């Protein structure tokens, strides 16, 4: 039984490390900020999750708080990582970073959200003409 636990936890730790490595490679290789955010979130969720679950299987929820602290680290990571990524994506988009669209590399220069024709790719297909940033439209 102990051997089975060891093998499972080792597999979790090594696979988690591999996911972290994948997120690092994606961080270097991907073309724009938003895809790089996508790569970074891979390490924040699957990488951290698998490593901490593997360490939990090693430590157990003992009386010496080791397991409890591991669970707390995992919970903090799972709460803070999406919040940070969301804030970062919003800040980057409002600053005018152009997302990479399916047509390939977007045109150079900053995205101007005041120009109605410039943010066509942000519009919802189901409701043409509706802006992705209605509160900003109202503010102007």
Among 1, 24, 60, 100, binds another protein (CB under 8 A): 24
User: Which 3-state string (H, E, C) describes the chain?
Assistant: CHHHHHHHHHHHHHHHHHHHHHHHHHHHHCCCHHHHHHHHHHHHHHHHHHHHHHHHHHHCCCCCCHHHHHHHHHHHHHHHHHHHHHHHHHHHHHHCCCCCECCECCCCCCCCCCCHHHHHHHCCCCCCCCCCCHHHHHHC
Of the two residues 73 and 132, which places its CB atom closer to another protein in the complex? 73
Of the two residues 87 and 116, which places its CB atom closer to another protein in the complex? 87
Give the total of residues touching another protein (CB under 8 A). 47
Instruction: State the residues that interact with another protein by CB under 8 A.
Output: 10, 13-14, 16-18, 20-21, 23-25, 27-28, 33, 36-37, 40, 43-44, 47-48, 51-52, 55, 58-59, 64-66, 69-70, 72-73, 76-77, 80-81, 83-85, 87-88, 91-92, 94-95, 97
């Amino acid at each position: 039984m102990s051997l089975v636990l060891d093998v499972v936890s080792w597999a979790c730790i090594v696979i988690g490390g591999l996911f972290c490595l994948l997120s690092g490679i994606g961080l270097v290789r991907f073309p724009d900020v938003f895809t790089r955010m996508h790569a970074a979130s891979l390490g924040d969720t699957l990488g951290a999750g698998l490593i901490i679950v593997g360490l939990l299987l090693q430590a157990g929820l003992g009386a010496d708080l080791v397991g409890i602290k591991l669970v707390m680290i995992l919970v903090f990571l799972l709460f803070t990582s999406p919040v940070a990524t969301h804030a970062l994506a919003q800040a980057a988009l409002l600053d005018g970073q152009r997302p990479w669209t399916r047509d390939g590399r977007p045109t150079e220069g900053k995205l101007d959200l005041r120009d109605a024709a410039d943010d066509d790719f942000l519009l919802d297909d189901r409701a043409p003409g509706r802006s992705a940033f209605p509160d900003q439209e109202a503010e102007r």
